[in-house]
Amino acid sequence: MALTDYLTLGRSGLRVSPLCLGTMTFGTDWPIGADVEESARVLRMYLDAGGNFLDTANIYTRGHSEKIIGDFFKQSPSLRDRCVIATKFGGSLYAGDPNAGGSGRKSIYNACHQSLRRMQTDSIDLYWMHFSDAHTPIDETMRALDDLVCAGKVRYVGFSDTPAWRVTQAMYEARINHWTPLIALQLEYSLVERTIEGELVPAAKEFGLGITPWSPLKGGLLSGKVTRTSRAGDGRVSGENFARHLSERNYAIIDTLLAVAKESGVTPAQAALAWVQQRPMVASTIIGARNAAQLRDNLACLDVKLSADQTQRLNEVSRPVLNFPHEFLHTTIPTVMHGGVSINGVTPKPWDLAPKSDAERH
């Protein structure tokens, strides 16, 4: 696969590259960022390689990420129309203002206009709700987003970091009221974080929503810098928040990832990205890069072909523990339900309590 093997995002006609360039590191306003010049080099390299999908947010580097993108395309306006620019609302940039964040109508309108101003563009190609907002009715959010689409300020909409039940509620509000539906979900997904497979991945499949995973390397945990004997790192691969992920389960995942990467002659990061990109319902994986070398390394994951055995080993060592009723349904129900036959590739174990003959049935 190449960066120019474009995919339609969810149940839409929007064509995007299989890797999306995340721009949370554009700007030095946060500790993990790159300066304007290096950010522009990364963006130029991604575009020159054929990539067309950019992801940012109103709050990334305090708004500087959006401004860097806007300034870049102001210098190269012919590139703007060929790119899919996605940004997010929901985070607050104004201390003390209760309406500066969240997904209420006032907040959405203001955030949209500020993002358009910073990015110096007439429309946002994909507008994400950054976080689920427990204080705003979902119909208010969906109606406000539909109004922005009808006004030409937004082309498509999606949700990030939102429970499956609320995604479902939003989709039915859109269907009932003939509003603009979601086309995608942006979710944390990696070998370490797979719990979205319980509710959100099935919801995405049911509604035809593309998934764009964020943190596919778990903040650097799966980059190859961390092993059982080397825990220190720089940037996000350090600190107390990172240390809490150094569990025996995750070390086992890292061990298997390192082995698979060595067998394939690729970096651990490339193997981890390849695994995510090959998961069901994943459309475009978000990759971040603080410099051109990191981007070049990450883009090479598209050339990685994991064998069935390697994929199975990674699947097994990273298998998540899902909340009820998922384990119960997976281990018990096929045996009781299928009558001992294979259905859609699922072959159950024999059910010892089932009738053995017509005479045993009441």
How confident is the model over 90-127, as pLDDT tens digits? 999 999 999 999 999 999 999 999 999 999 999 999 99
Distance CA 43, CA 35 (A): 12
- 320: its two tokens: 């998540």
Give yes or no for residue 237 having a pLDDT over 70. no
In three-state secondary structure terms, 59 is: coil
Q: What is the pLDDT at residue 330?
A: 83
Contacts of 338 (CB under 8 A, 6+ apart): 346, 348
Q: What is the pLDDT at residue 239?
A: 58
Q: What is the pLDDT at residue 240?
A: 60
Per-residue pLDDT of 217-230, as tens digits, reads 999 999 999 998 87
Q: What is the pLDDT at residue 338?
A: 83
Q: Where are the domains of the chain?
A: 7-325, 332-362
Which active-site residues does the annotation give?
60
Whether the ω angle into residue 280 lies within 30 degrees of 0, i.e. cis, is no
Where do the H-state alpha helices sit in the chain? 36-48, 64-75, 77-80, 105-119, 138-150, 164-177, 200-207, 239-243, 248-264, 268-277, 292-299, 308-317, 326-331, 333-337
Contact between 215 and 17 (Cβ < 8 Å): no
- Please indicate whether residue 352 or residue 18 has the higher confidence score (pLDDT): 18
Per-residue pLDDT of 308-335, as tens digits, reads 999 999 999 999 999 999 888 888 878 8
Place 341 in a pLDDT band, splitting at 50, 70 and 90. Answer: confident
Give yes or no for residue 346 having a pLDDT over 90. no
Q: What is the pLDDT at residue 129?
A: 98
User: Using alpha carbons only, what angle is made at residue 291 by residues 287 and 296, rounded to the nearest 5 degrees?
Assistant: 60
Mean pLDDT for 163-180 is 98
Q: What is the pLDDT at residue 233?
A: 53
Q: What is the pLDDT at residue 334?
A: 82
CATH architecture of 7-325: Alpha-Beta Barrel (3.20)
Give yes or no for residue 232 having a pLDDT over 80. no
In three-state secondary structure terms, 181 is: coil
